[in-house]
Amino acid sequence: MCDTFIALQPATEDGAIIFGKNSDREANEAQSLEYHPPKSYTSNSKVKCTYIDIPQVERTNGIIISRPFWMWGAEMGVNEKGVVIGNEAVFTKIKVSKNNVLTGMDLLRLGLERADSAKNAKHIIIDLLKQYGQGGVCGFVDKSMFYHNSFIIADKLEAYILETAGEFWVTKKVDKYYAISNGLTIGSDYDEIHPNAESFARKKGWVKGDFHFAKAFSDFLYTTFSACKIRQNRAIKILENKYKGINVRSAISHLRDHNSNDFNPANALLGKTICAHAGNSITRNASQTTGSMIVHLTKNKPTIWITATSAPCISMFKPVWFEDGVIPNLGEDLGAFYNENSFWWKHELLHRQILKDYNNRKNSLIFDFQNAEKEILDLVLHTNKKGFSISEKAFERHKQIIEENLPKISTLKVKNKPNIYYSNYFKKLNKKVKIPI
């Protein structure tokens, strides 16, 4: 499950566009932050996507993406042209194709690699959807996880919502702000629509009275248990409350939101919070925020603020740019097991130790992350400093905080032990990936 938002010029403090997404997936599904430079290809070249190969274009854009380690596609990203895309799993009445198709994450990455504007990316994804279809196994361990997709697609001038159900699709241009979660949102107020969407839905008996895309195609059960309405409504409320004042700092707070001052990740049945925490194998298994991204789309090159970790509430956002080294050294490539030489896994070890007594252990280190993050935010936003050296400084400080706090956190007395179901859930997860707790 995921949450994505976009704020356009009328809603932001500086008149830029701000994009944000929490990528929520299985807790043990490490997510890789990567830069892929622009590249030229010979004719008849193929690109190997997650499950199928398709013809490659002559030239691809440079892209910064956040990608679950085992798939080709990406959960979110931005290209050198300033196009940014985030996707959401949506559950529909259309049967999901399980083989020989593109995943929603493949569609996202292909859109970034090939588009020079948001409008162009929208049409590229629609064309690819028509040619190759969508679906496939989208879970890491959970091989029963199949879904369709919705997208927020933006550049420095405009943004679009693209929602799909099988081969059918609908689009809407954003005027001020928008938020999507794991359910269809576009009704009758669309701008473009698949030419056969309404007639197909009416033949199926899914339409009573006026046509409404989301009502016609949404699967009630999965959409309800994803708690997407709760999270989307919360996101809209946050954007409304900050209208005309949305900025990078408020975007960070948005992605950390728990909708409660006394939030405890061990207690909820459903994944109702924007900052998501896994908690059981049925309703909150694919509900851990394993990566977070904010893109500040100014008239110049975008600034990408990224955690490159799970749990933004106990992490820090760090800036990267399309220049110099782009992304600092994050250690060895990610895999299915804990690796002490990997930045994502090292932070995850800290995270798992905190989960043993979330509020008490979080409070013992949160000020370290907050102070380090504020220093970097002030440097970039107030003095307009940019560059690879700042990215390196931010990532090194994050690594230092992990190293300083891991020994202390792991020896703290547990004051409020989580319930047995939650504790056993994470014991099993920890054992599977051989994380040393």
Residues annotated as catalytic are: 2
Tell me the Cα Rg of the chain: 21
Q: Are 13 and 245 in contact (CB under 8 A)?
A: yes
Q: Tokens 């049967």 label which residue?
A: 95
Q: Which helix (H) or strand (E) holds 238?
A: helix 228-241
The beta-carbon contacts of 370-374 under 8 Å, at least 24 apart in sequence, are 370/316, 372/316, 372/397, 372/398, 372/401, 373/252, 373/316, 373/317
What are the residues whose beta carbons fall under 8 Å from the beta carbon of 83, sequence distance 6 or more?
61, 111, 112, 115, 116, 117, 118, 120, 121, 153, 154, 155
Alpha helices in 165-218 (DSSP H): 197-203, 213-217
Convert 34-67 to b/e letters by CB count within 10 Å (16 or more is b).
bebeeeeeeeeeebebbbbeeebeeebbbbbbbb
- Are 291 and 307 in contact by the 8 Å Cβ rule? The answer is yes
Angle (CA) 389 390 393, round 5°: 85
How far, in Å, CA of 133 to CA of 102, rounded? 6
DSSP 8-state class, residue 333: P
Round to whole Å and give the CA distance between 425 and 27.
Answer: 11
